[in-house]
Amino acid sequence: MIHKRQRILGGLMAVWLAGNAAHAADLPPVARVVSFGDSLSDCGTFGFKPTTAPSPAWNQLVAAHFHDDLKPNLIGRMAGVSAADLPSSAPGGLCYAQGGARTATGAPGKPEQFPISGVVQLDHFLAQHGHFDGDQLITVYLGTNDVLIKFFEVNARLAKGDSAALADGQATEVQAAKDVGALVQRMIDHGAKRIAVLNLYDLGNSDFIGAGPALSGLTDTFNAALQTALPHDPAVIPIDTHAFFAGLEPHPEAHGYKHPMNEDACIAPTKLGADCYAGPANWKSPDAGQTYMLIGMVHFTGRTEELVSDYVIGRIEGHK
């Protein structure tokens, strides 16, 4: 069933890319990258990047490819997570992604409390800039936290024999995907001409607590719903992250890794904050940034950041 879904998504992507060629040809070259997302796109909102230091995040590498320097829009402290009491500041970069962000849900009654949702991230961009420009590439990578947070609840309910747990979880992921679709449509309505939207890799193959078939199922549900929810507009560039990791996972050594996807580079991967990512003292080996795929349960090592950025750049270049 999963392979069938991948074939459908791959075919849909091919149709969209072919149909979008004329649209892309009319656009100016990419000069700036604007990024929305969670920790998998975080450029340093909390004083560190969730990757093997000093690696840039994949979206920063994409920006560098286009001769841009992608920096955080805000820097501040997330209660109970950040290792340092960082003063809140607004450096004004175009990386709005924040670790812990969900698509549309934030702290109840406190939408501006870190981490802000993807919806509030876009609110901030529009308040600051008003609209998108034709020379901007927008990246959207959201949904990971919507899946992981719901998975905790679903897993606990399944352990108690609650037969409705999985259906409830699936409904939540469908809504999260619809929220991403609405977010992308709002970007288009405000002038966005190139929007790279990443789906989720199979989180069930990570080292996340309790990872397995239930987590894979919620990931698949989100991805299938996202495929339907995204606007069928030439501005949208779908990035099949799920297929990309499915290609890496069976033969990691072919891509320079020494460890499988479900082995974590961090000595204490469940410890939140900067500790996992700061340097070799926190890693299982000095070369962990190049020999492991993931760190901190679900985040990318430096090597993976590079490979993801190359994959995204290839899809964007193919959009021309």
pTM, rounded to two decimals:
0.90
pLDDT band (50, 70, 90) for residue 24 = low
- Rounded to 10 degrees, the C-alpha dihedral 64/135/15/304 comes to 20
Q: Rounded to an integer, what distance in angstroms lies between the CA atom of residue 310 and that of residue 291?
A: 18
User: In DSSP terms, which residues pair with 283 in a beta bridge?
Assistant: 266
56-73 mean pLDDT? 98
Percentage of the chain surpassing pLDDT 70? 88
Contacts of 310 (CB under 8 A, 6+ apart): none
> pLDDT of 196-249, one tens digit each?
999 999 999 999 999 999 999 999 999 999 999 999 999 999 999 999 999 999
Domains and CATH numbers, the chain: 2-246 (3.40.50.1110)
Q: Which tokens in the block code for residue 121?
A: 């991230």
Instruction: Encode pLDDT of 122-163 as tens digits.
Output: 999 999 999 999 999 999 999 999 999 999 999 999 999 998
Instruction: Flag whether pLDDT at 23 surpasses 80.
Output: no
Q: Using 50, 70 and 90 to split pLDDT, how confident is the model at 319?
A: confident
The yes-or-no verdict on residue 99 having pLDDT over 80 is: yes
pLDDT above 90 (res 52): yes
For residue 80, is pLDDT > 80? no
User: How many Cβ atoms are within 10 Å of 54's Cβ, its own excluded?
Assistant: 11
